Amino acid sequence: MPAIVLVGAQWGDEGKGKATDLLGSRVDAVVKFNGGNNAGHTIVVGAEKYALHLLPSGILTPGCIPVIGNGVVVDLGVLFEEIDALEARGVDTSKLVVSGSAHVITPYNRTLDKVTERFLGSSKIGTTGRGIGPTYADKMSRTGIRVQDLFDEDLLRAKVSGALNLKNQVLVKIYNRRAFVVDEVVGELLGYAQRLRPMVADTALLLDQMLSDGRTVVLEAGQATLLDVDHGTYPFVTSSNATAGGACTGSGIAPTRISRVIAVVKAYTTRVGEGPFPTELFDEAGERLRDVGAEFGTTTGRPRRCGWFDAPIARYATRINGVTDFVLTKLDVLTGLEQVPVCVAYEVDGVRCDELPMTQTEFARAKPIYEMFPGWEEDISKARALEDLPRTARDYVSTLEAMINAPISAVGVGPGRDETIAISDLLD
Ligand code: GDP
Ligand code: IMO
Ligand code: MG
């Protein structure tokens, strides 16, 4: 079985964690390929609820190998906290493998993330404050600290010292913060080395061998298409490639190995942090989506901005990721609406636009053109087949499917593992 990519189609929090978990025990490895503990994936198994940040969702599937790929940025303190919290709840984390080439989020980059945001004031990105942007910036500037550096103390000290030469100047002289001490930073990082060592491997090689042996590998994105640093609503994005292309560079798996790209899309839209959002609601309809959908950030607890389904965005996700299947989530949240508006295109400066406009200047001015679809009153959370849905809910699903240029293969009707309508097998 070749590799399968799973991405978010909108601005994150579509339910990627639940979707990965759904693929279940037939998956041999789940690889996180981008991002870090800015992600928050909620998975509900029976009465148990898990919030994962850095660990791949496959950690909850017995027998599955969870892999942190080279494209991830790792906060080692958070990694061990998450492992310990899961172990305390009886989850076996012993199979976890971490790429030696993944970059490490250092204490100074956590601080820089927070102070630069404060400095930006009203122009801020609204980051999660976890040090993600500065760590990827160091990676690209070739001054980053990698997991493998923790096993070469001289190299680590030289790299931290080199990085702090510049960063301490910035922290002290521009942001009026205290300087970091090289020995303290090195000491903190080395403190993790012994526990980390047995988890570290050449993950690209390991995954290649698994694929050659016919095993199933899922490449799971953090964040989502419109938060991708190249294809998202730049600069209001994260600092990694969250789209399907990033799955290859972030894991070392070649594009020719990938047979399927699953995109998770919510039946409406949410966004956390700043940036344009054409279908955003500022009235009680938005508050209703937030309340009923429990739209509060898994990582920062911030209320998520809410709006109606945006078809041009989903079509864009299909094109950029080469989506073969959609998982439509949170259909149940729309229950009780008399009519459900769907954005079918935009109007930009008086001109109809069926695709995302080329520039962010135009996108910031895009006004949604809505079509209204009839709603439904019935509780749909017990539906397990399309036929169990009321006619209008089924029509809503097929209407979206016709607009987004790829089949909907599963529909979420609740947060639980079993609260799903399976339409076609995502792994066959
Ligand atoms: P992720 O970051 O894409 O993994 O998504 P999050 O976990 O941050 O946010 C999705 C939220 O929706 C979580 O609280 C899930 O438990 C919940 N969820 C996922 N699918 C469904 C669904 O079909 N219906 C409902 N009501 N909740 C869902
Ligand atoms: P999951 O994987 C939603 C947003 C932040 C901010 C921007 C940049 O749970 O879908 P960063 O800290 O990455 O530099 O912040 O990206 N953001 C997310 N929004 N879900 C996420 O992850 C996010 N990860 C980052 O709110 O606007
Ligand atoms: Mg999330």
DSSP H or E run through 346: strand 339-348
CB neighbourhood size of 371 (10 A)? 14
pLDDT value, residue 1: 66
Structure tokens, 221: 């994105």
Q: 248 by DSSP, 3-state: which? A: helix
45 by Cβ neighbours in 10 Å (0-12 / 13-18 / 19+) ranks as middle
41 has catalytic annotation? yes
Angle at 53 between CA 49 and CA 58, to 5 degrees: 70
Q: 175 by DSSP, 3-state: which? A: coil
Distance CA 89, CA 25 (A): 20
Domains and CATH numbers, the chain: 3-93+202-422 (3.90.170.10), 103-197 (1.10.300.10)
DSSP H or E run through 44: strand 41-45
Distance CA 117, CA 121 (A): 7
Atom 6 in ligand 1: residue holding the nearest Cα:
13
pLDDT value, residue 298: 85
Distance CA 30, CA 70 (A): 14
Judge if the beta carbon of residue 272 lies within 6 A of ligand 2: yes
Atom 18 in ligand 1: residue holding the nearest Cα:
415
pLDDT tens per residue across all 428 residues of the chain: 689 999 999 999 999 999 999 998 899 999 999 999 999 999 999 999 999 999 999 999 999 999 999 999 999 999 999 999 999 999 999 999 999 999 999 999 999 999 999 999 999 999 999 999 999 999 999 999 999 999 999 999 999 999 999 999 999 999 999 999 999 999 999 999 999 999 999 999 999 999 999 999 999 999 999 999 999 999 999 999 999 999 999 999 999 999 999 999 999 999 999 999 999 999 999 999 999 999 999 888 899 999 999 999 999 999 999 999 999 999 999 999 999 999 999 999 999 999 999 999 999 999 999 999 999 999 999 999 999 999 999 999 999 999 999 999 999 999 999 999 999 999 98
Structure tokens, 359: 């520039």
Report the b/e string of 343-369 with b at 16+ CB within 10 A: bbbbebeeeebeebbeebebbeebebb
Q: DSSP secondary structure string, 180-243?
A: PPHHHHHHHHHHHHHHHGGGEE-HHHHHHHHHHTT--EEEE-SS-GGG-TTTSSTTSS-SS--S
In ligand 2, which atom is closest to the CA atom of 8? 10
Cα(46) to ligand 1 centroid in Å equals 15
Structure tokens, 298: 């898994």
Q: Are 36 and 222 in contact (CB under 8 A)?
A: yes
Beta strands in 225-338 (DSSP E): 258-266, 269-271, 305-307, 309-310, 325-329
Cα(14) to ligand 3 centroid in Å equals 7
Angle at 41 between CA 36 and CA 42, to 5 degrees: 155
Distance CA 277, CA 37 (A): 24
Cα(266) to ligand 1 centroid in Å equals 9
Ligand 2 pocket test: which of 14, 223, 302 has the largest number of ligand atoms within 8 Å of its C-beta? 223
pTM for the whole structure: 0.97
**Active-site option among 21, 28, 41, 228:** 41
Question: For the CA atoms of 208, 323, 339, 297, what is the dihedral angle to 10 degrees?
Answer: 40
Ligand 1 pocket test: which of 60, 329, 419 has the largest number of ligand atoms within 8 Å of its C-beta? 329
